[in-house]
Chain A
């Protein structure tokens, strides 16, 4: 929209000039929040770095079978031949990173590690997120006694610091499997997501567009699903990216405490670092350094992205 009414009287070339000038200025100005956020993300180097790391990680994870030279659980005679409890053979033909403590191809295990780590991280995050969001929505939307109960519940969970809760859960699970670890790490995040969602729900219940919708007589669940949830989700997404990093770190910590995934055939970085890496540190430090580095990188990637998304969405940084 431009004041063409006024400039209509102008000579054509002048009018055209004016119109294009206006066009230029307005295009620089008002843009939608999301597009604007996206713009700022791309301009933000940290975001780009984070995204790049994650992308690489995903690619490796997805195409592990194609990238990896060998089967990660197979034991190779040429490696076991001079493998002893206090000597682990290094790089040899066909095994760029040499052997692991059981004569398996370490390089392949590192590569498949991406896959397993992704699996653990994603599942832990998703489960935590779904349960959390569900609780949060219910609490936030229904309010009243339900809200009270849910909040007490999260209180109980939050009363135990994250890793402690995970440890306890694993201990209480008696049988230790990969799933106990995933669940434990997931449950830890439930209250966080729940509170997050409840918070933004409550905030929105009073917000104009919801009030408007209510005034128009839109059904409650429609309001919740169509109007409130979408607006809360951005926050949830940010939290999720950050949670992922925490999840894989916690998984590693559990392995270190001997409470992690007991199946050492499974190539998962946390497991590799927490068990073999530490035990054989002096025999072959790479067994610790590589998984550790991988974990740090990925955790870093997700943190970077999460933080910069949050920053980008923060209205304070617009203009």
Chain B
């Protein structure tokens, strides 16, 4: 049985005096216990919104969430706010993009770690702080005793992100959602954080939803990958499959736009034409059509279905025929 089963999730933003915008458009995917699933796509493709919707962290005003988010067969979307709060941080942890702004600037680190333990495991402040010390140690923050009393601005970016991880994993959740956990960090730190994440989830058997625009990250740790475009899943495949032979032109484009060491020198880097803003509503056909190299007349007209629950394309990249 799936740990997390997202069914036909869609989110519509509606601000006063503007046209409604469909940020997430019927996304479905599942996460098995201990599995690591990637949500990939350019910024604005709706991947972060998806994660927030799952956690029920979207601001109440001005948007409507539809579909089901089954976590161990209970639909999180149907829970009362209080019940949801009981699960957040205990069953599902989350890590955010910008570690600095994601930590409260005026509260010492110790408390920020401890409070989640106090909340979900009924620890006293003293116990919680002692435990927090251990957690910081576990995520590789040197001299945790001192750090407990320090404030976010006194820590380095990497350490802040480690702290956030410590907070997210404090209560041993069964699912961890990481929303672009490394984009705000230097490349060297990125690697460290990723490896840290990897070993933590592996050891604790925590399932991980990794949200990123960086295929490199995906390649690093995801078991299966969902490629999102304009709020829809356009391709889903196992990591090796996806990298070996991407079928959707968009995925293909993404892959080709990643610089490769084994690429022949001077060969110019491929890029996807245009930007996210020039796409068309799915109702009118394939949203990617305007930017697609393989666009054909059939792409325009009516919505393209997710063929075999894995590929949303009328004119996919042909499978390579073994020579």
Contact = CB atoms under 8 A, between A and B. Distances in A.
A and B touch in the complex (CB under 8 A): yes
B281 A10 contact: no
Interface in A1-43: 1-3, 5-7, 9-11, 14, 17-18, 21-22, 25-26, 28-30, 43
Interface in B285-315: 289-293, 295-297, 300-301
B274 to A, nearest CB: 4
Contacts of B281: 21
A21 B284 contact: yes
B277 A26 contact: yes
B19 A11 contact: no
A47 to B, nearest CB: 13
B46 to A, nearest CB: 15
B181 to A, nearest CB: 24
B290 A18 contact: yes
B78 to A, nearest CB: 29
A10 B300 CA distance: 9
Contact of A21 (B17, B19, B280): B280
Contact of A1 (B274, B284, B300): B274
A9 B16 CA distance: 39
A18 B287 CA distance: 10
Contacts of B19: 28
Interface in B220-278: 273-274, 277-278
Contacts of A43: 16-17
B190 interface: no
B279 interface: yes
A169 to B, nearest CB: 41
Contacts of B278: 1-3, 22, 25-26
B18 to A, nearest CB: 8
Q: What DSSP secondary structure best describes chain B's contact surface?
A: loop
Given A1-B274, A21-B284, A14 B290 contact: no
Contact of A18 (B16, B18, B300): B300
A25 B300 contact: no
Contact of B273 (A6, A10, A25, A28): A6
Contact of A6 (B18, B293, B301): B293
Interface residues of B, number: 22
B289 A7 contact: yes
Contacts of B292: 3, 6
B273 A14 contact: no
A11 B285 CA distance: 14
A29 B297 CA distance: 27
B291 to A, nearest CB: 5
Nearest to A20: B280
Contact of B277 (A6, A11, A30): A30
B290 A17 contact: no
B289 A18 contact: yes
Nearest to A28: B19
Given A21-B281, A25-B277, A7 B290 contact: yes
A22 B276 CA distance: 11
A2 B300 contact: no
A1 B278 CA distance: 9
Contacts of B18: 28
Contact of B290 (A6, A29, A30): A6
7 contacts: A3-B274, A6-B290, A6-B293, A7-B289, A14-B300, A26-B277, A30-B277
Give the 8 A-B residue pairs with the shortest CB-CB distance, closest first. Answer: A3-B274, A21-B280, A14-B300, A3-B290, A3-B273, A3-B291, A22-B278, A43-B17
Interface of A: 1-3, 5-7, 9-11, 14, 17-18, 21-22, 25-26, 28-30, 43
Given A10-B296, A10-B297, A22-B278, 15 more contacts: A1-B274, A2-B290, A3-B278, A3-B291, A5-B273, A6-B289, A6-B295, A7-B290, A9-B295, A10-B300, A22-B280, A26-B278, A28-B19, A29-B277, A43-B17
